[in-house]
Amino acid sequence: MKVLLINGSPHAQGCTYTALSEVAAALEADGVNTELWQIGQMDVRGCIACHRCRELGKCVFDDAVNQAQEKLRLCDGLIVGSPVYYASANATLTAFLDRLFFSCGAMLAHKPAAAVVSARRAGTTATLDQLNKYFMLSQMPVVSSQYWNMVHGNSAQEVLQDQEGLQIMRTLGHNMAWLLRCMEAGKAAGVPLPPQEERVGTNFIR
Ligand SMILES: Cc1cc2nc3c(=O)[nH]c(=O)nc-3n(C[C@H](O)[C@H](O)[C@H](O)COP(=O)(O)O)c2cc1C
- Residue 141 falls within a domain, yes or no? yes
pLDDT of residue 203: 84
- Residue 52 falls within a domain, yes or no? yes
Q: In tens digits, what is the pLDDT along the chain, a chain of 206 residues?
A: 999 999 999 999 999 999 999 999 999 999 999 999 999 999 999 999 999 999 999 999 999 999 999 999 999 999 999 999 999 999 999 999 999 999 998 999 999 999 999 999 999 999 999 999 999 999 999 999 999 999 999 999 999 999 999 999 999 999 999 999 999 999 999 999 999 999 898 888 66
Total structural domains within the chain: 1
Write the burial class of residue 48 (CB in 10 Å: 0-12 exposed, 13-18 middle, 19+ buried): exposed
Protein residue with its CA nearest to atom 31 in ligand 1: 85
CA of 85 to the centre of ligand 1 (A): 5
- Residue 204 falls within a domain, yes or no? no
pLDDT of residue 133: 98
- Residue 129 falls within a domain, yes or no? yes
- Our mutation pick for probing the ligand 1 site, out of 23, 84, 88, counting the most ligand atoms within 8 A of Cβ, is 84
CA of 18 to the centre of ligand 1 (A): 14
- Residue 27 falls within a domain, yes or no? yes
- Our mutation pick for probing the ligand 1 site, out of 79, 85, 124, 149, counting the most ligand atoms within 8 A of Cβ, is 85
**Phi, psi (rounded to 5 degrees) for 189:** -85, 0
CA atoms within 13 A on the CB side of 173: 25
- Residue 17 falls within a domain, yes or no? yes
CA 80/CA 82 separation, integer angstroms: 7
pLDDT of residue 121: 97
pLDDT of residue 204: 80
- Residue 205 falls within a domain, yes or no? no
Whether 40 contacts 71, CB under 8 Å = no
Domain with residue 160: its CATH number is 3.40.50.360
Long-range contact set of residues 145-148: C-beta below 8 Å, sequence gap at least 24: 145/114, 145/169, 145/171, 145/172, 145/175, 146/171, 148/124
- Residue 26 falls within a domain, yes or no? yes
Range of the domain at 129: 2-188
pLDDT of residue 84: 98
pLDDT of residue 105: 85
For the question of whether the overall pTM of this predicted structure is more than 0.85, the answer is yes
CA of 11 to the centre of ligand 1 (A): 11
pLDDT of residue 206: 61
Q: Is 159 helix (H, G, I), strand (E, B) or coil?
A: helix
Ligand 1 site residues (CB inside 6 A) read: 9, 11, 14-17, 83-87, 118-123, 153-154
pLDDT of residue 202: 87
Task: Indicate which atom in ligand 1 lies nearest the CA of residue 88.
Answer: 8
